[in-house]
Amino acid sequence: MLEYAKIDTGFKDKIASRPGGERVKNCYLCGTCTAGCPVSSLRNEYSPRRFMRMILLGMKEEVLSSPEIWQCSQCHVCVAHCPQDVRFADIIRILRQMSVEEGYAPGDMLKKVEDIDVDLRKQRIALVEELTKEMSK
Ligand code: SF4
Ligand code: SF4
Predicted local distance difference test score (pLDDT) of residue 2 = 67
DSSP class of residue 22? T
For a mutational test of ligand 2's pocket, the pick from 76, 91, 113, 120, i.e. the residue with the most ligand atoms closer than 8 A to its C-beta, is 76
Same domain flag for 83 and 96 = yes
Predicted confidence (pLDDT) per residue in 25-78, tens digit: 999 999 999 999 999 999 999 999 999 999 999 999 999 999 999 999 999 999
Range of the domain at 91: 4-105
pTM for the structure as a whole:
0.92
Q: How far is the CA of 55 from the centre of ligand 1 (A)?
A: 12
Same domain flag for 118 and 98 = no
Same domain flag for 77 and 132 = no
Answer yes or no: is pLDDT of 121 > 90: yes
Predicted confidence (pLDDT) per residue in 35-50, tens digit: 999 999 999 999 999 9
Question: 19: which residues sit within 8 A by CB, 6+ positions away?
Answer: 90
Answer yes or no: is pLDDT of 24 > 90: yes
Same domain flag for 10 and 57 = yes
Q: How far is the CA of 126 from the centre of ligand 1 (A)?
A: 35
Q: How far is the CA of 133 from the centre of ligand 2 (A)?
A: 31
CB-CB neighbours of 50 under 10 Å:
17
Same domain flag for 32 and 64 = yes
